Amino acid sequence: MLNYQKNLFLGIILSLFISYKTYSQEQNNLGLGIEKNTLSINGNPLEIFTLYTGNIQIHSCHYENCKKEKSPYILRFLKILKDTSHVEPIPINVFLIKHPEGNFVIDAGGDPQWYDESSWECEPFSRKIAQKLANVNVKPEESLESRLKQLGLKNSDIKAAIVTHLHFDHTAGLKKLNAPTYVGKGDIKNGRIIGSVPCKFLDGVKLIQVEPLLKGLNTEKQDIGDSLLGAGLSLTKDNAIKVYSTPGHTPGSLTIRVRTDQGDLWFVGDITFEDTQIETNSKVAGIHFNIKEIRKLHKNLKLILSRTNSILIPAHQVNTSQRIKTWSNK
Ligand SMILES: [Zn+2]
């Protein structure tokens, strides 16, 4: 009996230690891990998980343009490569939407093998440019694959992935996810110019181009997204999840709108790094492929925000889950 009690006591101590260790692994220098917001759609639960999949540190001229806005993309890109200053690391967020019709993943995060040269064998040139452009810090337990496992999900539990654009910090988890993946046509066409890593991250991934599916779609009446951004592609029968073609950050950038009973969430990828960066007097990012398009898009997003109960969800903003909580409790 005494032995039994001793074992029980040790067991409790051990499990407390393990749960503390799991908890501390979840907490990283940005104080993030997996966070959940429970909203609803037509009275049914709709959960939004913000999955922290590491961080990225970019040059200052990447985050905020250092050249004239009219400067061609290639000159702004070269300026970023030459820039020696960095901004603080920003999170790489991936989003899991648990909708009554299925689970959707928005973006696929960064690469835990970023500094492992052998993993870049099929694209050594991309490695050089990409590693000069940014420091990517993803621990194995922070990869999209690990995050889904931590939530008890298998690949077959994911109905589809939607990638806001094909930059390397949004696509690394796609191969392992192995789900039908919606992407912008313009990013496939211009992959090499925009810094996509097709061989390492996209080989064998079932990519579905969105733009051809938008042709012939009627804009939904009273849908502000449709009227300002063009008809969106519904991924669910209730029209709650819609994908819009919003080129600017890259030629094939997509925006995903998730409608809930609490309001609309706009997953904008890197169209803006922070929600406040869409203000007319704010400096936009230097990395945008087409800044003129971005300014137009920011104007439309501001109109959407002013006319509806909406929130912008950029891919690299801190405290996303807290922002969603504050917004949805209003
Ligand atoms: Zn990014």
Q: Which element (helix H / strand E) includes 131? A: helix 124-133
What pTM value is reported for the model?
A: 0.89
The position carrying tokens 């806001």 is 164
Mean pLDDT over 133-138 rounds to 96
| pLDDT tens sequence across 171-188 | 999 999 999 999 999 999
* Number of Cβ atoms within 10 Å of the Cβ of 107: 29
The alpha carbon of 270 and the centre of ligand 1 are apart by a number of angstroms equal to 6
The alpha carbon of 170 and the centre of ligand 1 are apart by a number of angstroms equal to 6
pLDDT band, residue 9 (cuts 50/70/90): low
Residue 295 vs residues 62, 188, 249, 286, 292: alpha-carbon distances, Å? 16, 23, 10, 13, 5
The alpha carbon of 245 and the centre of ligand 1 are apart by a number of angstroms equal to 17
Question: What ranges do the domains of the chain cover?
Answer: 32-323
Q: Which element (helix H / strand E) includes 181? A: strand 181-183
Q: Which fold has domain 32-323?
A: Metallo-beta-lactamase; Chain A (3.60.15)
Comparing CA positions, the residue from 175, 143, 115, 168 lying closest to residue 53 is 143
* Number of Cβ atoms within 10 Å of the Cβ of 124: 9
pLDDT score of 13:
52
Mean pLDDT of the chain: 91
